């Protein structure tokens, strides 16, 4: 028997303007009576929860709110969320926000019935073997179009012991339903529209060129790149363009589905930038992606040429790199790590952490620690 490959795309998705009004209906489908809403203070302050709470009230479901989630989540956010779930008597997690609340929501549901230290579940160490189906149900409602965490099967958290962004991955962490409403992203400011959009683009692009055979992921990644190219600048320029907002939400979710194939060196570079210097993850990707594509050109040139053409540039690896830099500039993002406030003297530590990160394992061109250091240098 030859090598076998397993492919899976199972999430239930409710998509469209006004979809958030179905939260109560979806919670009832899951047999829930009391929900814990996992979110952050920015989402609460933006008034996003009002319609969702009305939907829950109409379905006879009570709820409490846990909003102590940081932009780059740490272990304490998860432990505090688990405590809130237990103390409130909840039987459902409703995660609302960007990638951070959605990731923490998944890890809260993990922690309810799984008692090992979070570090034990590190995917890079085979921690998925400890994750069972014994988790409470979850609904996921994204308010940004970037991580696609609403349809992903991983949560990312900075572990206390290592100060390293750690991926915890299992199909058991998939939300029972993703409710994707462009209205929830209407108020996203231009910077976050650009940065989260670049995260979606990076997921799609890295998955498309990643090592391995996954034609379903490749097709979805390619279409996700096309959607970003079509809609990101419209969403950036006119936040109330709901067609563009919806297009970016589709691209975001497609990126998260596609990267089950694998990511690459850009994510290994980006993760330490967030954990060490609190850089927005999408911005970190935007700053490192051109250099990574140039590095990968000799082994993934044909696919990078296709991406270059999709992004409106020349159909060549160089055209892809130039198109990414031009798009980054048009979206008002800074042009290098130095401009983003990263001190050059931190490169050696960052390179050590990036090499420990598992994402570069599926990069199309193998990366040494020195390669990753050079990519940081090229991103300044």
274 found inside a domain = yes
Indicate the pLDDT class of residue 3, thresholds 50, 70 and 90.
Answer: low
Q: What percent of the chain has pLDDT over 90?
A: 89
Question: 59 and 200: one domain?
Answer: no
pLDDT, mean of residues 78-95: 98
CA angle (269 as vertex; 266, 271 as ends), nearest 5: 105
Question: 244 and 335: one domain?
Answer: yes
- Residue 178 and residue 150 in contact, taking contact as beta carbons nearer than 8 Å: yes
Question: 268 and 312: one domain?
Answer: yes
3 found inside a domain = no
The secondary structure of residue 328, as a DSSP letter, is H
Which residue from 284, 261, 283, 263 is spatially nearest to 206, judged by alpha carbons?
263
CATH code where residue 195 lies: 1.20.1090.10
* Sole residue written with tokens 């048009």: 330
- Number of other CB atoms surrounding residue 335 within 10 Å: 15
User: Based on the structure, what is the number of domains in the chain?
Assistant: 2
- Residue 168 and residue 122 in contact, taking contact as beta carbons nearer than 8 Å: yes
Give yes or no for residue 72 having a pLDDT over 60.
yes
Indicate the pLDDT class of residue 163, thresholds 50, 70 and 90.
Answer: confident
Q: What is the extent of the structural domain holding 142?
A: 12-185
Question: 179 and 194: one domain?
Answer: no
**Domain end: 185, 207, 223, which one?**
185
- Residue 86 and residue 95 in contact, taking contact as beta carbons nearer than 8 Å: no
Cα–Cα distances in angstroms (integers) from residue 337 to residues 26, 116, 142, 377, in the given order: 43, 37, 28, 9
d(CA 7, CA 48): 35
Give pTM, 2 decimals: 0.92
**Domain end: 120, 152, 185, which one?**
185
72 found inside a domain = yes
pLDDT, mean of residues 92-98: 97
Give the model's pLDDT for residue 5.
55
CA angle (335 as vertex; 334, 341 as ends), nearest 5: 60
Question: 148 and 41: one domain?
Answer: yes
Q: Residue 157's beta-bridge partner residues?
A: 166
CA angle (65 as vertex; 61, 70 as ends), nearest 5: 145
**Domain end: 185, 216, 234, which one?**
185
Indicate the pLDDT class of residue 325, thresholds 50, 70 and 90.
Answer: very high
Question: 26 and 147: one domain?
Answer: yes
Q: Is the dihedral of CA 16, 22, 23, 27 positive or negative?
A: negative
d(CA 131, CA 59): 31
Give yes or no for residue 2 having a pLDDT over 60.
no
With the CA atoms of 351, 356, 361 and 365 taken in that order, what torsion angle do they form, in degrees rounded to the nearest 10? Answer: 20
7 found inside a domain = no
56 found inside a domain = yes
Give yes or no for residue 10 having a pLDDT over 80.
no
pLDDT tens-digit readout, 333-358 = 999 999 999 999 999 999 999 999 98
Question: 181 and 292: one domain?
Answer: no
pLDDT, mean of residues 225-242: 97
Give the model's pLDDT for residue 8.
55
- Residue 365 and residue 379 in contact, taking contact as beta carbons nearer than 8 Å: no
285 found inside a domain = yes
pLDDT tens-digit readout, 22-45 = 999 999 999 999 999 999 999 999
CATH code where residue 88 lies: 3.40.50.1970
Question: 203 and 73: one domain?
Answer: no
pLDDT tens-digit readout, 110-144 = 999 999 999 999 988 999 999 999 999 999 999 99
Most distant CA atoms of the chain, gap in Å: 58
How much of the chain is helix, strand and coil, in % rounded to 5?
60, 10, 30
pLDDT, mean of residues 63-86: 95
Q: For the purposes of burial, counting CB atoms within 10 Å of the CB of 346, is it exposed (0-12), middle (13-18) or buried (19 or more)?
A: middle
Which residue from 141, 135, 103 is spatially nearest to 14, judged by alpha carbons?
141
Indicate the pLDDT class of residue 7, thresholds 50, 70 and 90.
Answer: low
Question: 181 and 200: one domain?
Answer: no
- Number of other CB atoms surrounding residue 189 within 10 Å: 10
Helix (H, G, I), strand (E, B) or coil at 178: strand
Question: 175 and 266: one domain?
Answer: no
């Amino acid at each position: 028997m030859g090598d076998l490959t397993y492919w899976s795309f199972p999430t239930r998705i409710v998509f469209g303007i006004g979809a958030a009004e179905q939260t109560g209906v979806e919670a009832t489908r899951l047999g829930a009576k009391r929900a814990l809403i996992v979110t952050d203070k920015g989402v609460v302050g933006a008034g996003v929860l009002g319609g969702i709470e009305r939907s829950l009230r109409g379905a006879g479901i009570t709820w409490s709110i846990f909003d102590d989630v940081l932009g780059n989540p740490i272990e304490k956010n998860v432990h505090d969320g688990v405590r809130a779930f237990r103390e409130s008597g909840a039987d459902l997690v409703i995660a609302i926000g960007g990638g951070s609340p959605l990731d923490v929501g998944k890890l809260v549901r993990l922690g309810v019935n799984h008692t090992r230290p979070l570090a034990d579940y590190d995917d890079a160490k085979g921690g998925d073997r400890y994750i069972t189906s014994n988790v409470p149900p979850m609904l996921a409602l994204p308010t940004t179009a970037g991580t696609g965490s609403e349809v992903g099967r991983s949560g990312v958290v900075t572990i206390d012991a290592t100060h390293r962004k750690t991926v915890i991955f299992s199909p058991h962490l998939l939300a029972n339903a993703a409710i994707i409403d462009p209205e929830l992203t209407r108020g996203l400011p231009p910077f976050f529209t650009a940065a989260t959009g670049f995260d979606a683009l990076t997921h799609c692009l890295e998955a498309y060129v990643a090592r391995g055979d996954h034609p379903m992921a490749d097709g979805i990644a390619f279409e996700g790149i096309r959607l970003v190219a079509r809609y990101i600048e419209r969403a950036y320029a006119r936040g109330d363009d709901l067609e563009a907002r919806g297009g970016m939400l589709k691209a975001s979710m497609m990126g998260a589905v596609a990267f089950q194939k694998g990511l690459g060196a850009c994510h290994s570079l980006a993760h330490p930038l967030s954990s060490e210097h609190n850089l927005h993850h999408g911005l970190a990707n935007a700053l490192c992606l051109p250099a990574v594509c140039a590095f990968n050109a000799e082994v993934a040139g044909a696919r990078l040429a296709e991406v270059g053409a999709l992004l409106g540039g020349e159909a060549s690896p160089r055209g892809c790199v130039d198109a990414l830099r031009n798009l980054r500039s048009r979206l008002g993002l800074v042009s290098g790590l130095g401009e983003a406030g990263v001190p050059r003297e931190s490169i050696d530590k960052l390179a050590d952490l990036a090499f420990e990160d598992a994402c570069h394992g599926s990069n199309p061109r193998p990366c040494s620690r020195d390669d990753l250091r050079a990519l940081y240098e090229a991103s300044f």
